């Protein structure tokens, strides 16, 4: 279904001019309100503000560049923030991992040392007991021989 164009060409141009005038008035009101803001007035009184006021094409270019650069700069800052957070978290988890590995390694080394010292102690005690008994055994016949020789000499000297 096609719309009907009952209005003449002149009435549509009058309607278009009225819409344009209303739009222009809104933009003018918005611009005046913006210029009346004390922060904007302070910026516009600076050297750069006066220069941009006298060069509207450059001001529009700067404004468009600023608006279009906001998204990439924002994304980059978000990327930097996420990277910093992730590297901090990664560093934290890496440090925990290293501490865990170091703790397990220390536990293994200390367990090995405990086992080694126990085995060495058992071996040394076994050698000590063995050597002590061997020396006791070899020293004992000499004492027995001395007692026997003493008994024999005493029997020879004591006739009963």
Per-residue model confidence as pLDDT tens digits over 58-84: 888 988 998 899 999 999 999 999 999
Is the Cβ–Cβ distance between 92 and 82 less than 8 Å?
Answer: no
Q: Indicate the SS3 state at residue 37.
A: coil
Contacts with 43 (C-beta within 8 Å, 6 or more apart), sequence order = 49
Is the Cβ–Cβ distance between 40 and 34 less than 8 Å?
Answer: yes
The overall average pLDDT reported for the chain is 83
Percent of the chain, pLDDT > 90?
A: 42
Residue 52's CB is within 10 A of a number of other CB atoms, namely 19
Alpha helices by DSSP H, listed for the chain, are: 9-36, 38-44, 47-54, 56-157
Whole-number Å distance between alpha carbons of 106 and 109:
5
Mean pLDDT of 20-33: 87
**Model pTM?**
0.43
Tokens standing for 97? Answer: 């991992």
Whole-number Å distance between alpha carbons of 48 and 59:
10
Is the Cβ–Cβ distance between 76 and 69 less than 8 Å?
Answer: no
Q: What is the pLDDT of residue 14?
A: 72
pLDDT band for position 150 (50/70/90)?
Answer: low
Tokens standing for 6? Answer: 């009952």
């Amino acid at each position: 279904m096609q719309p009907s164009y009952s209005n003449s060409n002149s009435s549509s141009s009058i309607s278009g001019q009225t819409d344009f005038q209303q739009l222009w008035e809104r933009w003018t009101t918005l611009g005046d309100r913006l210029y009346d803001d004390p922060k904007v007035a302070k910026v516009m009184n600076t050297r750069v503000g006066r220069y941009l006021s006298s060069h509207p094409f450059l001001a529009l270019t700067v404004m468009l560049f600023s608006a279009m650069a906001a998204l990439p700069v924002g994304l980059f800052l978000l990327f930097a923030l996420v990277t910093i957070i992730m590297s901090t978290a990664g560093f934290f988890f890496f440090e925990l991992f290293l501490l865990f590995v170091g703790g397990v390694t220390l536990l293994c080394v200390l367990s090995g040392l405990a086992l080694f010292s126990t085995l060495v102690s058992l071996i040394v005690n076994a050698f000590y007991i063995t050597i002590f008994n061997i020396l006791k055994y070899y020293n004992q016949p000499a004492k027995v021989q001395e007692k026997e020789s003493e008994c024999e000499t005493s029997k020879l000297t004591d006739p009963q």
